[in-house]
Amino acid sequence: MRRLLLAVLLLLPLRPAVAEAVWQTLPPTPPPATYDRSARVMLNGVRLFYATAGHGPPVLLLHGGLANSDHWGHQVAALRRAHQVIVMDSRGHGRSARDARPFGYHLMADDVVALLDHLELPRADVVGWSDGAIIGLDLALRHPGRVGRIFAFAANVRTDGVIPNADRNPTFAAYIARAGREYARLSPTPGDYDAFLAQIGRMWATQPNWTDAQLRGIRARVQVVDGDHDEAIRRTHTEAMAAAIPGAGLLILPNASHFAFLQDPVLFNAAMLHFLDAP
C-alpha cells in the first residue's frame, strides 16, 4: 500500500469553499444512530453497552477518551450499507459502567475481546479514534488473531507524542466540556465526571509507551490517519508511528483536526471505506 493515499485528496476540488476554518470547529455530536440490536451486558467484570447494525464483514468502531459511541453516527450510516457495524461505549464512558480497576489500554482491549466473544465473532476490522485507535493497536499487539484491518485515526503510541497542554486549545476544551454534559446524561454514575476525567488523565499521562520494536511486530494491515491541524498529537509522532508499523499507510486529512470525523465526515468516510474495502 502506498504510504500516502493522494487519491482521497483529489476530492477536495469538488468541495465548496467555506469561510470558516473547519479545523477550528467542533460540530455537534450526531443524533444516536438507529441500530438493529443494542444491549448492556456483563463483560470482563463490568456492564458494557454495545449496539450493532447492518450485515457483512464486521467493523468495530471505538471512540475516543471521554466520549461515547454516539460520536460515530456519520460513520455508522456510511458503513452499515455493506458491513456489520458494531459500536461500544468503553468502560466508564457513555452508557457503560466501570469498576475499581484503573483505566488502561490493555484492560479496554480485553473488554473488546470479551465483546467479540459475546457476539461470537472470531475477528473484526477496527476503526478507532484517539483512545479507540490505541485500543485497536493494543489488540494488534496482544490479540492479533482477533483484529483484521485497523483504521487508526489520531492515535499516539507513546506519551511524548501528545502536544503539551492540548486541553487548553479552545476546540479541545470545548470537547471536554461537551463530554461532561454527555456523561451526565448517559452515564450510570452521572455525578462522577470530574473523578472520571481525573482517572482518564492519569492514564493519558502514563500510557501508552510502546517501543518501535513492539510496533514492528504488528502484522495487521494498518492505516495511520490524522488531521493536518490535530490539537493533541504531534505530526512527527504520527509519521514515525506509520514508519515503524510494517506496511502501514499514512494519510493526513486536510483542514481537519482531532475531530475530523465530525468536521468533514464525507472525506473521513471516503478514506475509511477506501481502506476497509480495498482488495
The domains located in the chain, with CATH, are 6-10+33-277 (3.40.50.1820)
Given a contact cutoff of 8 angstroms between Cβ atoms, the answer to whether 239 and 267 are in contact is: no
Task: Supply the pLDDT for residue 109.
Answer: 98
pLDDT band of residue 19 (cuts 50, 70, 90) is: low
Average pLDDT along the chain: 94
Task: Supply the pLDDT for residue 131.
Answer: 98
SS (HEC) of 215-273: HCCCCCCEEEEEECCCCCECHHHHHHHHHHCCCCEEEEECCCCCCHHHHCHHHHHHHHH
pLDDT band of residue 9 (cuts 50, 70, 90) is: very low
Give the tens place of pLDDT for each residue, 95-153: 999 999 999 999 999 999 999 999 999 999 999 999 999 999 999 999 999 999 999 99
Distance CA 19, CA 190 (A): 38
How large is the C-alpha radius of gyration of the chain? 17
- Residue identified by cell 444516536 is 32
| For helices 131-142 and 105-118, angle between their N-to-C axes, nearest 10 degrees | 70
